Structure 1
Amino acid sequence: MQRLAGDIAAPAELRGGVVALGNFDGFHLGHQAVVGRAIERARAAGRPALVATFDPHPVRFFRPDAPPFRLTTLDQRERLFAVAGADAMVVFRFDAALAALTAEQFVAERLVDGLDVGGVVTGEDFTFGYAKRGNTAVMATLGAQHGFAAETVGPVALDGVPVSSSRIRHALQAGDPGAAARLLTRPFAIEGVVRHGDKLGRTMGYPTANLDLDRYLRPAYGIYAVRGRLPDGRVLDGAANLGVRPTFEPPKELLEPYFFDFSGDLYGQRIEVELVEYLRPEAKFDGLDALTAQMEQDCARARAVLAGSSKLSVTLNLFQGPCDV
């Protein structure tokens, strides 16, 4: 799996590919349908399969003060695209230069000159080019002019409602990671480098691995049953506080997983923490004894939840079908 910069010509072995084009934040069921169709077309034609995404997200460029909303990092998306079967991820850096390109310029310069595309697959609501003047109809017209076929994949519905990144965000903010996982086909996961904290958990017998939330969407603050994935491949069950730790001053927004039956040094390591089930909201306690007693209850409940939840690896549903990107 290669990562390509979208403003540099692709290497010869990856030119002429079929490109799935979209933001793909979350890489949910709908996104998987778009990518799956692109991979299917590429394999049938003996061409490379590429997935093109934008970073930062266009919303972040146009609204830099928008609250955090991302569901995946670039690194996470790259791994997901690789599991899906893509040969490369193309990253179009969304900056002033890209925002200023007309739809015609984007196709000619980035898709044709840069990638020599043999085909493009998008969701039906995909827009591109200056002021979003390009849409799927424009892409089809420009594709015909430049000699590649553009295909649109329509919405995928689950429980009678189209799958979308917004729907996933609403589920997470409502404290329903299970609903989000059904739409994502895997648990929502936050990845980061474990950093040193106040080590208060260690003094209480519950050492935690502290992660900054960075630009991730903020799910409902509270206590979660979680699974941690370490760089060496180990998967650890645990319980985590996600929020501002109201018992302690000053407030610090962190994800703090405590992994059961684990002893080791995780400082400086990049780990991924999956939110499996929401257990309760954050609460302020009168003292450490009351907090410790509640943590014992939280960990017992998390153990019970996780005992009935299989340790699934990334699950993707790459089928031909409609989707909403």
Structure 2
Amino acid sequence: MLLLRQPQTPPDPAVPRVVMIGNFDGFHRGHQAVAQAALNVADSSNGVVWLLTFDPHPRAFFSPTGAHNALASPAVEARLAAAIGLAGIYTMNFDKALSSQTPQAFIADNIVARMQADCVVVGHDFRFGQGRAGSAETLREHGGFRVVEVDAFADEGGQTVSSTRIRSLLSKGHLAEANGILGHRYFVIGTVEHGEKRGRELGYPTANIALDAGSALAHGIYATTVKVGETVYPSVASYGRRPTFGDKPPLLEVHLFDYSGDLYGQQLEVAFHSYLRPELKFDGVDALIAQMDKDSEMARAALASAQPLSQLDQALGLVHANVLAA
């Protein structure tokens, strides 16, 4: 999959190009419905699908002091897009010049000239151009290409699926519900960095990964799996400030059950399967180790019956391979 950023130019399409436009943070089930509509069009025309997206998020540009906690980093977004079946992602710089473009100019400069779209697929609430004046109808009137507008996606309870709702669920430790709305397990990608080596002293060596400061993930203990290269390992993870040893910046610490080796500097994919308990402060090391033993048992039990949540979850390959083979 090609990852391009302005001012790069996408290659001339040798096949019809279907372009889906927007910020698809987390690629939840609503986003997947838009992507599937785009893939259906591409399949019918032997074409390919590109995502045209923006950085920073327009909301962050217009309200730079507000909270704009992304569900997915660019690396996670690219991993999801590839698993869904997109051919490429083109990221435009959202700045004053772009925000000031009229809808007609945006269509001419970016959708027609830059992306050379044969079809554009957008969600029901898509707006673009100066003052958010552009809509799907504007695309139809001024584009000269096919336009597909996808209806709002609601879950089984009739609630609209949104990234905001998922962030709220994650912040409260409601991981199972968040994963159900995502349609895949929430996961992060990060590089292992050196820490205080305290986990090793406690008998639980960990791979330490710093998450974005605005991460919505609740502090606590999780049953997780970790992808190292092409191998997936069962694991237990702690995310938080480590209050037993003083109040520190939030850190993700992951203990891989069936792994021995040096992970420093490696990029890992950590998938969150179950929220086990909130972060606690213990009176001493012995009490902490006893709880870590219990946490490990709970994590192993939670992972023993893990199965992919969807075809996308299976394509991501973040479920322990030994479980799937059982």
Instruction: Provide the TM-score with structure 2 as the length reference.
Output: 0.90
CA gap of 1:316–1:148, structure 2 versus 1, over 3 A, is farther
Amino acid across the alignment from 2:267: R
- Among 230, 239, 245, which residue is 1:233 paired with? 230
Amino acid across the alignment from 1:208: T
Deviates more, 1:97-106 or 1:24-33: 97-106
CA gap of 1:151–1:4, structure 2 versus 1, over 3 A, is same
In the alignment, which residue of structure 2 is the partner of 1:39? 39
Q: Does 1:278 align with 2:275?
A: yes
In the alignment, which residue of structure 1 is the partner of 2:112? 112
In the alignment, which residue of structure 2 is the partner of 1:140? 140
| C-alpha contact 2:190 2:267 (8 A) present in aligned 1 | yes
CA distance in 1, matches of 2:39, 2:230: 27
| C-alpha contact 2:75 2:189 (8 A) present in aligned 1 | no
Q: Which runs of 5+ in 2 are unaligned?
A: 315-326
CA gap of 1:43–1:311, structure 2 versus 1, over 3 A, is closer
- 1:3-24 residue CA offsets vs partner (Å, 9 max, x unmatched): 2224443211367511111111
- Among 214, 219, 222, which residue is 2:212 paired with? 214
CA distance in 1, matches of 2:282, 2:45: 62
Residue correspondence of structure 1 range 232-251 to structure 2 within 5 A:
232-251=229-248
In the alignment, which residue of structure 2 is the partner of 1:171? 169
| C-alpha contact 1:15 1:116 (8 A) present in aligned 2 | no
CA gap of 1:32–1:311, structure 2 versus 1, over 3 A, is closer
CA distance in 2, matches of 1:173, 1:202: 29
In the alignment, which residue of structure 2 is the partner of 1:89? 89
- 1:160-192 residue CA offsets vs partner (Å, 9 max, x unmatched): 111111121121112111111111111101111
Amino acid across the alignment from 2:180: R
CA distance in 2, matches of 1:270, 1:207: 17
Percent same amino acid at aligned positions? 41
In the alignment, which residue of structure 1 is the partner of 2:324? none
In the alignment, which residue of structure 2 is the partner of 1:323? none
| C-alpha contact 2:168 2:216 (8 A) present in aligned 1 | no
How far has the Cα of 1:56 moved from its partner? 2.2
In the alignment, which residue of structure 1 is the partner of 2:318? none
CA gap of 1:96–1:85, structure 2 versus 1, over 3 A, is same
| C-alpha contact 2:195 2:208 (8 A) present in aligned 1 | yes
SS in 1 for 2:181: helix
CA distance in 2, matches of 1:261, 1:86: 34
CA distance in 2, matches of 1:250, 1:217: 17
CA distance in 1, matches of 2:311, 2:198: 33
In the alignment, which residue of structure 2 is the partner of 1:128? 128
CA distance in 2, matches of 1:281, 1:273: 19
In the alignment, which residue of structure 2 is the partner of 1:322? none
How far has the Cα of 1:60 moved from its partner? 2.3
The higher-RCO structure (CA 8 Å, 6+ apart) is: 1
How far has the Cα of 1:67 moved from its partner? 3.2
Amino acid across the alignment from 2:289: T
CA distance in 1, matches of 2:98, 2:126: 16
Q: Which runs of 5+ in 1 are unaligned?
A: 318-325
CA distance in 1, matches of 2:278, 2:203: 22
- Among 286, 290, 303, which residue is 1:289 paired with? 286
Amino acid across the alignment from 2:45: A
CA gap of 1:314–1:240, structure 2 versus 1, over 3 A, is farther
CA distance in 1, matches of 2:77, 2:70: 11
SS in 1 for 2:188: strand
> What number of residue pairs does the alignment pair up?
313
CA gap of 1:241–1:316, structure 2 versus 1, over 3 A, is closer
Amino acid across the alignment from 1:241: S
SS in 2 for 1:210: strand
CA distance in 2, matches of 1:61, 1:139: 24
In the alignment, which residue of structure 2 is the partner of 1:13? 13
Deviates more, 1:37-46 or 1:264-273: 37-46
Q: Does 1:2 align with 2:20?
A: no
CA gap of 1:316–1:279, structure 2 versus 1, over 3 A, is closer
Amino acid across the alignment from 1:206: Y
| C-alpha contact 1:9 1:113 (8 A) present in aligned 2 | no
CA distance in 2, matches of 1:177, 1:235: 20
SS in 1 for 2:207: coil
SS in 2 for 1:223: strand
SS in 2 for 1:315: helix
CA distance in 1, matches of 2:243, 2:25: 31
| C-alpha contact 1:17 1:116 (8 A) present in aligned 2 | yes
CA distance in 1, matches of 2:36, 2:297: 40
RMSD over aligned CA atoms reads 2.0
CA distance in 2, matches of 1:299, 1:9: 49
